[in-house]
């Protein structure tokens, strides 16, 4: 929910990586603006890109890392022809739309399948998981192959953000 002006205002105030997830229709219209604002990684949804390969090329031409997100019902097969060009694959473990949704357990095999593909093809991309991640299920997600975890509601709706973050970090070590 943060546009390029907000990214631009934050850049230079931290050395953290700006991972921008464009959960929008026609992301090609916005890639250059986010790149110019300071995004380091730009993630687009496979389902929102008419020409996914061209979109990935556009991101990389701007000197940014490229990622592709897959909704729960979208098979990994849909990115097999571009997977070698990706820096990250984001497995959505809820259907996009709003925070606080329940983790879809059936995504664990999908994460494992993606990890197996990366090993079999000797590819070096991050596996990010977003949606319904909690301290109670983070170990299973990491064990399946994820190395980047997105947690929103579980942290920001908790009674103690520092304790919840600590629980995530402790439980994510498998």
pLDDT tens string 35-68: 999 999 999 999 999 999 999 999 999 999 999 9
What are the tens digits of pLDDT across the range 120-159? 999 999 999 999 999 999 999 999 999 999 998 999 999 9
DSSP 10-40: HTTS--S--EEEE-SSSGGGTHHHHHHHT-S
Its pTM surpasses 0.95 = no
DSSP for the chain reads ---HHHHHHHTTS--S--EEEE-SSSGGGTHHHHHHHT-SEEEEEGGG-SSHHHHHHHHHHTT-EEEEEE-TTS-GGGGTTTGGG-SEEEEESS-TT-SSPPP-TTHHHHHHHHHHHHHHTT---EEEEESS--TTTHHHHHHHT--EEE-SHHHHTSS-HHHHHHHHHHHT--
Residue 55 CB coordination number (10 Å): 24
Position 1 scores a pLDDT of 64
Q: Is 56 strand, coil or helix?
A: helix
pLDDT score, position 106: 95
């Amino acid at each position: 929910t943060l546009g390029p002006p907000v990214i631009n205002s934050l850049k230079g105030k931290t050395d953290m990586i700006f991972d921008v997830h464009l959960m929008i229709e026609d992301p090609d219209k916005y890639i250059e603006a986010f790149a110019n604002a300071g995004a380091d990684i730009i993630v687009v949804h496979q389902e929102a890109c008419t020409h996914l390969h061209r979109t990935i090329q556009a991101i990389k031409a701007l000197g940014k890392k490229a990622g592709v997100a897959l909704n729960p019902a979208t098979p990994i097969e849909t990115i097999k022809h571009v997977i070698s060009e990706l820096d990250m694959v984001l497995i959505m473990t809820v259907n996009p739309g709003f925070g606080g949704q329940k983790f879809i357990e059936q995504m664990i095999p999908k994460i494992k399948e993606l990890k197996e593909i990366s090993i079999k093809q000797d590819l070096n991309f991050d596996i990010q998981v977003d949606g319904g991640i909690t301290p109670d299920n983070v170990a299973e997600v990491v064990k399946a192959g994820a190395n980047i975890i997105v947690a929103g509601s579980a942290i920001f709706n908790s009674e103690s953000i520092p304790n919840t973050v600590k629980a995530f970090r402790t439980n994510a070590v498998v």
